[in-house]
Structure formats: C-alpha cells, structure tokens
Amino acid sequence: MTPVELSRSVLCAVRRAVDEGELAVAVPERAVVTVPGPGGCGDYATNIALQLARPAGQPALRVAEILRSHLAGADGVADVVVTGPGFLNIRLGGTASVALVEEILRRGARYGYSNGPSADFVPLSCPGEVRAVVVMDAVARILRSQGAAVRTGCEAELPQEWVDILGVRVDTVGGRSSRPGDSSRSSRHGESNTVGLPGDDAGPRATRHQPVPPRLPHYAVRPVPAPLDPLFLGRDAARWALLHPAEHDRPRVTDEHLVQRESNPLFRVRYAYARTRALTRNAADLGFTAEPGPVEPSTGQFTDQLTSQSPAPLTPHPLQTALADHPRVLAQAAAHRAPDRLARHLVAVADAVLPLLAVVLPRGAEKPSAAHRARLALAEAAGAVLAGGLSLLGIDAPEHL
C-alpha cells in the first residue's frame, strides 16, 4: 500500500464516520500520511483527527478513536494506535507489503510515475548559470514523471560543454527556440513545437498537432549559484553536487563527490543499486529468482520465527516503508520544484537496503528458501526505485561499481 492509497483509506474512514453520524464535518479533500515522528509507532501516521477536532466540536482524542475503529478494518491495515494528542499510527499488514513489492517490480524504474498525462503545463525559466540550468533540467524531468507538460527556457545560450558533459538541454533561449527546424512563428512567440525533451519518455509532449495548454507564468528556477565550475567532476558527480543541496543552500563543488567510500552519499546510492543487480546475477547462478513475500525486519526476528511455537506476526521491513514513500516524494519534489527531496530520499532508500543485502543469498550449504526469494524481491524493488530516481536526476545507475 502506497501513501496515496493509505490516504484514500483514511478519507474513506472519515466518510464512513460522517455517514454514520459519529462526526459532523465536511470530508477533507486530502489526508496527509507521513512517517511517524518521535513517540509514534507503526509504518505511517496522520494528524487527520487533530485537523477535524475543531469543526467536529469534539476532543481530538475522541475523533481519533472514532476514526481508528473505521480504519482498523481497511484492507492492508494491520493495526491502528492512537498516540499523543490524537495522532493515528498505522501499521500495514504483511499482504500490503507483498503487494507493494509486486507493484514496484511490475512498474520497474517508472514506479511512482503518473499513470497518465495531467492538465498541467509548466513553463520553466532560469538564468544562464550552471546550477540553475542543472536544477531546471532535473525539475523538468520530475514534472514530466508526474504527467505535466514542460517547456524550459534559459536567458542565455548554453555553453556546449554543459550540454556535452552535464547533459542539459533547453527548449528556448531568450524567447527563441533552441531546436533546429522550429518555425519562425514559434520563435517569435517564444513557443517551441515540442514541449518534451527528445528521447525523454517521462511525460507527455505537446506537438504542433496537439493544442498547447494555456500559457502560465514562468516558474523561475534561481538556486544559490555554484561557487565554481563543476565540470571537472564529470556528469554524475557534478549533477549530484548541484542537486543534492536544497535550492537555498550553497553547493559544495569538491572532489569529495568522487570518493568511493561510505561518507559519500552518491557512492552509497550507486553502490546499493549495483549490489542489487549483483545479487540478481548471483541468485540466478544459484538457481533461484525473486518472489515477493513477507520479509522480516531483522535476521534475529526471522530466526525467532523459525524456532518459536507461537510466532508473532512479522512487521514490515524498514525498507518497505521507504519504498512506499517514493510516490509521495516524487509528487512533492514536483510540486515544490525541489529535486533535492528526491536526492535525499534515494540516500534513505540506499541506507535502508544495504543491511538487507548481506542476508539475501544462502550461506554455505543452505538451500534457497522462500525467505531468500522474498528478500531478493525486496532488494530488486529497491534497485528499481534507486535506478528510477537517479534517472530523473540525470545520473547514471551503474550495473557494476
């Protein structure tokens, strides 16, 4: 179950409470679900009860108890606990976790993408500064993944080395189309015939045969400029150095982004992806493939499950929570024009998958079991999210590292 699906379940619980006369409120348009904060528990938490307490004329704890009774029976929800002043803490069931992995493996690197084009048309513009151009390029990719049509523009012509090394492209330069073959009419009006980037299938395009959505004000991408030219880092490290910090933070353009050690977040992300691919190859050599199933949160709990006469129900692996959060992160990165949110999320996914990798393959004379297949499926799902996220940032995901 993804956060979007869980949000819908929360709203359904509110609607049932209203229909049964337990709450006299207007059902909100959305319910925010996040990772539980300090004092919370489970996989997700929502403050919907606090949001509805005043309009309902009831204490938040009472509203939370009403919603808990309706939400506890929802598909994929294993348990709901009320904490603090009225937070609903939700634990997902094992079948929901399995369905999540199945969905990721089915959609691959496009997991978290919009299911179709939206009505959004977003014109982006930036000054002729290297970080601004790279950030705009990444924002355009993320927006297209969410179904938006995008046109990019720069105030100045791009140096050829930015195009060759950093892989950045723009549709218009100073109001003129930067693409050969565009009509003079499009150039005069500052519109290119192609909204999407060539070869980029992350989102819809508007062509001369399709109506272009109404013009909106340009969103100006103006992050804190890079302190020096990042081209010496090469494409992947340079883009990461400019995209990982928040827009208002000064980027560190140093060779620390090239160091292959744990202290380098880019290395951890790419290393985690390469390890997932290596596990798939090694598992094939051992004669087994991935098969989604319940995955224990720790090796110790799994051992206890095997030896206990009355095993406790398995709780989802921490990695599954991070993977389920991926669609929300992409949507927020698009809405706030903030590729740094995606970069930090990829680091969180990598840090969550790395401890799992050591127990995916059988050891010694151990035979491949359902647990090994389930762990491999979860690792492959993490690899798909890492590859898809890196692609949206314009960074290569290496099979070997």
In this prediction, residue 298 carries a pLDDT of 53
In this prediction, residue 320 carries a pLDDT of 84
pLDDT digits (tens, 9 = 90+) for 354-392: 999 999 999 988 899 999 999 999 999 999 999 999 999
pLDDT digits (tens, 9 = 90+) for 123-138: 999 999 999 999 999 9
In this prediction, residue 200 carries a pLDDT of 46
- More reliable by pLDDT, 288 or 188: 288
Q: Is the pLDDT of residue 297 over 70?
A: no
DSSP class per residue in 182-212? --HHHHHTT--S--SPTT--SS----TTSPP
- More reliable by pLDDT, 254 or 299: 254
Query: Sheet harboring 219-220: ordered strands across?
Result: 176-177, 172-173, 149-154, 121-126, 219-220
Calculate what percentage of the chain has a pLDDT beyond 70.
Answer: 83
d(CA 228, CA 143): 28
Amino acid (one-letter) located at 197: L
Q: Assess contact for 389 and 395: CB atoms under 8 A.
A: no
Q: Is the pLDDT of residue 172 over 50?
A: yes
d(CA 17, CA 293): 34
Contacts with 204 (C-beta within 8 Å, 6 or more apart), sequence order: 117, 144, 147, 148, 149, 195, 196
Q: Is the pLDDT of residue 302 over 70?
A: no
In this prediction, residue 179 carries a pLDDT of 53
Calculate what percentage of the chain has a pLDDT beyond 90.
Answer: 65
- More reliable by pLDDT, 126 or 175: 126
In this prediction, residue 177 carries a pLDDT of 61
In this prediction, residue 322 carries a pLDDT of 87
d(CA 65, CA 80): 10
In this prediction, residue 317 carries a pLDDT of 67
Average pLDDT over residues 207-230: 72
- The closest of 391, 312, 325 to 352, measured between CA atoms, is 325
pLDDT band of residue 189 (cuts 50, 70, 90) is very low
Q: Is the pLDDT of residue 266 over 80?
A: yes
In this prediction, residue 120 carries a pLDDT of 86
In this prediction, residue 76 carries a pLDDT of 76
d(CA 189, CA 177): 9
Contacts with 332 (C-beta within 8 Å, 6 or more apart), sequence order: 338, 341
Averaged confidence pLDDT in the chain: 84
Q: Is the pLDDT of residue 52 over 80?
A: yes
pLDDT band of residue 308 (cuts 50, 70, 90) is very low
d(CA 140, CA 152): 7
pLDDT band of residue 212 (cuts 50, 70, 90) is very low
Q: Is the pLDDT of residue 63 over 90?
A: yes
d(CA 115, CA 237): 31
Average pLDDT over residues 79-90: 91
- More reliable by pLDDT, 7 or 393: 393
Q: How far is CA 78 from CA 9, 302, 308, 353, in A?
A: 13, 19, 21, 23
Average pLDDT over residues 44-60: 93
pLDDT digits (tens, 9 = 90+) for 2-30: 677 888 899 999 999 999 999 999 999 88
- What torsion do the CA atoms of 27, 69, 325, 53 make, to the nearest 10 degrees? 40
pTM over 0.85: no
Average pLDDT over residues 337-344: 96
In this prediction, residue 292 carries a pLDDT of 92
Contacts with 82 (C-beta within 8 Å, 6 or more apart), sequence order: 49, 61, 64, 65, 68, 88, 89
- More reliable by pLDDT, 336 or 401: 336
